[in-house]
Structure formats: C-alpha cells, structure tokens
Amino acid sequence: MTEDLETFRAETRAWLEANCPPEMRQPVRSDKDINWGGRNPVFQPGQKEWMDAMAGRGWTVPDWPQAYGGGGLSPAQTKILREEMRKLGCRNPLNSFGISMLGPALLKYGTEEQKREHLPRIARGEIRWCQGYSEPNAGSDLAGLATSAEDKGDHFLVNGQKVWTSYADKADWIFCLVRTDKSTKQGGISFLLFDMETPGVSTRPILLISGYSPFCETFFDDVKVPKGNLLGELNKGWDVAKYLLGHEREMISGMGNEGGNKSLHAIARDKVGLTEDGKLADPLLRAQMALFEVRTRAFGAMSERFMDELKAGRAHPAQPSMMKYYGTELNKTRNELMMAAGGSDLLEWESDASNGGAAARAWLRTKANSIEGGTSEIQLNIIAKRILQLPGA
C-alpha cells in the first residue's frame, strides 16, 4: 500500500507540474484571483484552463464518487493530492459553496436523480450556489426562521426574506431553509433547492466596512419551487441544515490554516527589517509571530487529524465547532499581525502600492469570521454541550 501511495504521489506531482499554469501558482492577491465558476464566470488568465484540467480528472472534488464527477480518491490519496498542490503553490482550481457545503449534503440526503442533476455540474464549476439560511430575525437562533413554503400541490410557494446571503447577486442557485410547519420550531423546517432566476427572487447587496459587498439581502415573493427540489424529507430539513453547517464550519476554519504565512513573513521582513543575525528587527513582533507560527502548526496538525477522523466516520460531533472557532481566531490574528508589520502603508485604501488596499480590506473582512457560520459564542456553547454532555447536546 505504501509503495502504491508513493507511486500515486510521484504521478500526481508530475501531472500537476505539467498541467498547472504558471499564473495558478502565484499567491492569491485579491478576490479576482478566486475562481467561483458559475453560469456567467469572469475568468482571470489561467483560471479556466486550470479548472477544466482538474475537473477532467475529478480533482475539483477528489474524494467524491466518480459517478458524480469526483475523482474517487481514497482519503490517503486525497491528502497526497493536497500536499503536492501546496508544495507547488497550486491555487484551489474552484471555490464553491456547492463543493464545500451543498455537495456533502446532497451525497448524504439527495435522491439519485438530484445527485446526477447537481453534483457533476458542481464538480465542473458550471453552477454557482449561495446559502439561504439567516434571516433578519433568525441568525444565531436559526431555527426561528420565518420564510415560508406553502404546499400548492405540485410545487411550493415560497415567501420571505434572507439576509447575509453571501454572493447571492452572483449565484445561479440557492439552497434554502424554509418553514413548512408553523406548529413546531426545528421540526417544521424543510430544505429546498431552486434557481435564482425563478420569477419572484431578487437580491440587494449590502456594503461592508471593507468596501466590498459580498453579502446580500435576498427576497422571495411568490416563488414557485417544484416539489422535486425538496432535499431530504418534508419538515426534516433541520437535520440537513445541521449536517451542512458542520461542513460550512470546516470550510471557514480552513481560513486559519496555511496560505497567508508567506505574505505575512515577507511583509514583516520588508517593512521591519532584519538584525545582523537574520532575526526580525522588532523583538515584540518577532515573539508574536513565533507564537502565531506555533499555533498555526498545531492547528494544522489538528486539522489533519480531524479530516482523517471525519473520513473514517469517527469525528467527535464537537470537532467542526472547535475547528471553526480556532480557525477564525487564527485568521484574525494573522491579519492583525500583517497590519502591525506593514504599518501605515497597508492602511492606504486605493493606491497601487497597497494593491487597492487589499491587506486593509482583508483585515476588516476577518471581523466577520467570528460571526458568520454561527458566532464564536454559539460555537463555544456547542463545544461545551457536546464535550460535557450537557442538556441539549
């Protein structure tokens, strides 16, 4: 088995070296460098070529079954692929809520028809999804949602409003929590999939402190959704929602893993300078960065262990919340250190030297990390309940 994996590693490395375009081996500098795919994508040089090459092997979703557009790789092979991509500096070929959130839920709860309709298109980057969870009066208390789906025989009639719907104005489809029974709270929620071009769906971007508008308000006015677009059982959508949230938190926690360290070290070296013996000249910043490095490596080891346990079906139910909480804290710390190292130069908002204020905008964006996907306080409550087996765990 070991010899087989070493052969797979060598072949994977050779294929990546031959097929990953040079532009896709550069660090991500801004949102434009992230490929989300979809029906109306705007590709940067090398993005489509890289996405198509990876999708052709099923490697945009390497551990999904080949029948649904995946690579059919084992957990060990998937880990090797990711390791080799990191070594070569290969960018993720496709960022997608379809991959990181909806896909796992479809694999677990979807009908065969739903899997064959949606999963291959997600794997090829043809459809961009958004998430319809939070509402103006149902954020941390998500089960208090009020958006309704009335049974009209062959379809549901959806009315209501969602908020903080990430990239809703650019998404093609939405996976959406709706209330189908008002007599009970969690037991009256269903999980629907529908096209954002369906009559009655509208979006309005929300301008954030970073200057960007990745979040939207989303409105549904008499939206007709076919019954076949129900994922899972009627009024059992809360189970699907919780399963999907575990994957969302895993995705958000990944922001605390490697990916920004080189930029942080480079900025600190360039802005602060080095001593004669090659150490960072600012001793306080040096100590803070050393502590951050230790925590990042520990988080990386914990992430690897978690993924192994998750794939083996042995993950503790508190682990997604643990990863989400610590990952977001690390990501916030990394950006704080970057701003401390860069000083006032990085606070420039529009200059070419600051790349359009990329670092400052990214730093401000991290403030949302401990809110989105369930606040840090919610995560700590979940961890306490499940580790200590408190009531409601």
Are 273 and 339 contained in the same domain?
yes
How many beta carbons lie within 10 A of that of residue 278, not counting itself? Answer: 7
SS3 316: coil
pLDDT value of position 393: 65
Are 259 and 377 contained in the same domain?
yes
d(CA 383, CA 39): 39
Give the mean pLDDT of 318-339. Answer: 90
pLDDT value of position 258: 44
pLDDT value of position 261: 46
**Domain assignment of residue 341, yes or no:** yes
Helix (H) or strand (E) holding 8: helix 2-19
Q: Helix axis angle, 237-253 relative to 283-311, nearest 10°?
A: 140
Kind of pairing, strands 129-132 and 173-179?
A: parallel
* Its pTM surpasses 0.95: no
d(CA 64, CA 384): 32
pLDDT digits (tens, 9 = 90+) for 12-41: 999 999 999 999 998 887 778 899 999 999
d(CA 334, CA 95): 21
Specify the CATH number for the domain of residue 302.
1.20.140.10
Specify the CATH number for the domain of residue 157.
2.40.110.10
Question: In a 10 Å sphere around its CB, with 0-12 CB exposed, 13-18 middle and 19+ buried, how is residue 261 labelled?
Answer: middle
Q: Which residue has the tokens 């990239």?
A: 167
Specify the CATH number for the domain of residue 67.
1.10.540.10
Are 91 and 138 contained in the same domain?
no
- 376 has a pLDDT exceeding 60: yes
Alpha-carbon torsion (376, 378, 380, 383), positive or negative: negative
Q: Which residue has the tokens 């052969």?
A: 7
**Domain assignment of residue 115, yes or no:** no
Query: In the listed set 202, 237, 272, which residue is the last one of a domain according to the structure?
Result: 237
Are 141 and 73 contained in the same domain?
no
Query: In the listed set 182, 202, 237, which residue is the last one of a domain according to the structure?
Result: 237
What band does 254 get if pLDDT is binned at 50, 70 and 90? low
pLDDT value of position 252: 66
Q: Which residue has the higher pLDDT, 35 or 260?
A: 35
Are 65 and 182 contained in the same domain?
no
**Domain assignment of residue 100, yes or no:** no
Are 83 and 147 contained in the same domain?
no
Are 168 and 215 contained in the same domain?
yes
**Domain assignment of residue 381, yes or no:** yes
Kind of pairing, strands 155-162 and 173-179?
A: unpaired
d(CA 106, CA 117): 11
Are 173 and 142 contained in the same domain?
yes
Task: Find the domain containing 18 and state its range.
Answer: 1-95
Query: In the listed set 237, 265, 291, which residue is the last one of a domain according to the structure?
Result: 237
**Two tokens, residue 380:** 């700590």
Please pick, among 135, 217, 248, 329, the residue that the annotation labels catalytic. 248
The count of domains in the chain is 3
Q: Is 276 a catalytic residue?
A: no
pLDDT digits (tens, 9 = 90+) for 91-128: 999 999 999 999 999 999 999 999 999 999 999 999 99
Contact between residue 355 and residue 27 where contact means Cβ atoms under 8 Å apart: no
Q: What is the mean pLDDT of the chain?
A: 90
Are 50 and 148 contained in the same domain?
no
The residue length of the chain stands at: 393
